[in-house]
Amino acid sequence: MIEENYQHIDYTSVRDLLTAVFKHKYKILVAFLVIFAAALVFASQIRETYEAKSVLLIKLGREFSNQSLAGGSTQTGYSLPIEAVTKGEMSILTGHDLSKKVVGALGPVTLYPELSTMAKGADLEGAAMTEFEKDLSVTTIGSNLVEVKFTNSNPKVVAEAVNMLVDAFKDRHLEVFGAKSTEFLESQKQVFEQKLKESENKLAGFQERNRIFSAQEQKTALITQRGTIDTSLKDVQGQIAELEQKVSLTRSPQWVIDTSPDVRTQLSNLRQKERDLLEKHTESSIVVQNVRQQIREVEESAKKDADGLRQKELVKIQGDLSIARAKAERLKARIAEIDGEISYLEKNTVQLQDLSRDVAQEEQNYQTYAKKLEESLISDDMDRRKMVAISVIEKAVTPTAPKKIKFSKDEIVGAGFFGGIVGGIALALLIEFLAPGMTTPMSAQRRLDLPVLVAIALKE
């Protein structure tokens, strides 16, 4: 039979286990003392710490809007998503400047008394800042909530440190995002106010010299007036044509005038008398000739009266015609004058429009900078009042109990005690397991498959 290099003990036998334990009792004691001492040392190194926290709400405030300082549209919008804004605010919050300000205000030794043992001349503040940044935790809750936690052994300074850090963060936020444009806007407003006055003076001078105040309205009025005069001119020209026809008709042979009833009666009686006489007398009769002479005289008298009336009518018509022609000339002259005024307006309208556009542009620039200056002054006042897009939802308060840790000192000491016992026994069993040969009567019996008759204990 080939012998083995080592012999296993029977872990199911209480006798074997107790034999191994008593055999290596001093080793078990040493292992227990080492493990228990290590637990004591580790427990003594654990210090009670206190934690304070503050929760901040990051909002999209005026500093993140994309309004420009120049003229143009004033529509408000935000150029960054809230997640990016929150990330940027966290970078400011965890910056060295804020840590240095808090450590300097509270004092390195106040925060970390153990640093008082550092050698003189050492970078005490730098070491405190390093520890402060290790104990500081800044995390996000959702997209725009930031949780600020600080852990320290002094319960009196943890809340003060967190609140001081938040205040310093607000101040730093104002330094980074605060508007510094008020002075610039004031100067620009004065510049555009002066330009506006100069443009208005140029426009007023041009209007005064050329007597043009509202070119479009004046032109519309002139065109309306010209249309009215043109209508009147056409009416007068119609009257002139009618009067000229009357003159031609009056001068023509077709013009006749009705004789008076008396003359017609007289002529009718004389012609009747002539007919009566011709029935009794001959053509050459003196009586007939006398009647005919009377007829001629009456007719000549009537003709003379008609010629006189013709002349009177001609004089009247020609007088009306002269008046109408004079009126037509006046209307034509007025139309020509209005056409000249319209042409003059059109000639100067371009320059007037240029001057008006200059005034409008300078007015727009002035109003834009005036509005921006007002917004900047409001923003400055909000900055002075520290009205920023950061709200403290939960302010840090002084903790009343230390921060809970995973294992307390008592738990660690107890674990060291029982761990030392278990470790020592495990060490004894391991040594026994690795030892060569037959160390107990039972192991010899199992090894040789023979009963043990006598067992002699040997002193080491």
Examine the pLDDT at 1 and tell me if it is beyond 50.
no
CA nearest neighbour of 107 among 134, 144, 132, 70: 132
As a whole number, the mean pLDDT across the chain is 76
Higher pLDDT, 86 or 145: 145
Of 104-108, 177-181, 261-265, the range with the lowest mean pLDDT is 177-181
Between 279 and 363, residue with greater pLDDT? 363
Length of the chain: 460
Query: Residues 35-77: pLDDT tens digits?
Result: 878 877 776 666 667 888 888 887 766 555 555 444 444 445 5
At residue 416 the predicted structure's pLDDT band, cuts being 50, 70 and 90, is: confident
Concatenating the DSSP letter of every residue in 99-130 gives: HHHHHHHH-HHHH-GGGGGSPTTS-HHHHHHH
| 256 pLDDT higher than 70 | no
- Residue 119 clears pLDDT 60, i.e. is over it: no
- The residue assigned the tokens 């009067």 is 243
Residue type present at position 132 = F
Cα dist. 247→47, 243, 397, 436 in Å? 134, 6, 117, 166
pLDDT at res. 227: 92
Q: In what order do the strands lie in the sheet with 50-58?
A: 136-141, 145-152, 50-58, 390-394
* pTM greater than 0.75: no
In order, the DSSP letters of 215-266 are HHHHHHHHHHHHHHHHHHHHHHHHHHHHHHHHHHHHHSTT---PPPHHHHHH
Question: What pLDDT was estimated at residue 74?
Answer: 46
Domain ranges for the chain: 14-181+387-447, 201-383
Distance CA 324, CA 317 (A): 10
Per-residue pLDDT reduced to its tens digit, 191-203: 888 888 888 888 7
Please list, in sequence order, all residues whose beta carbon lies within 8 angstroms of the beta carbon of residue 292, skipping any fewer than 6 positions away.
274
Classify the phi-psi angles of 377: left when phi > 0, otherwise alpha if psi is within -120 to 50, otherwise beta.
alpha
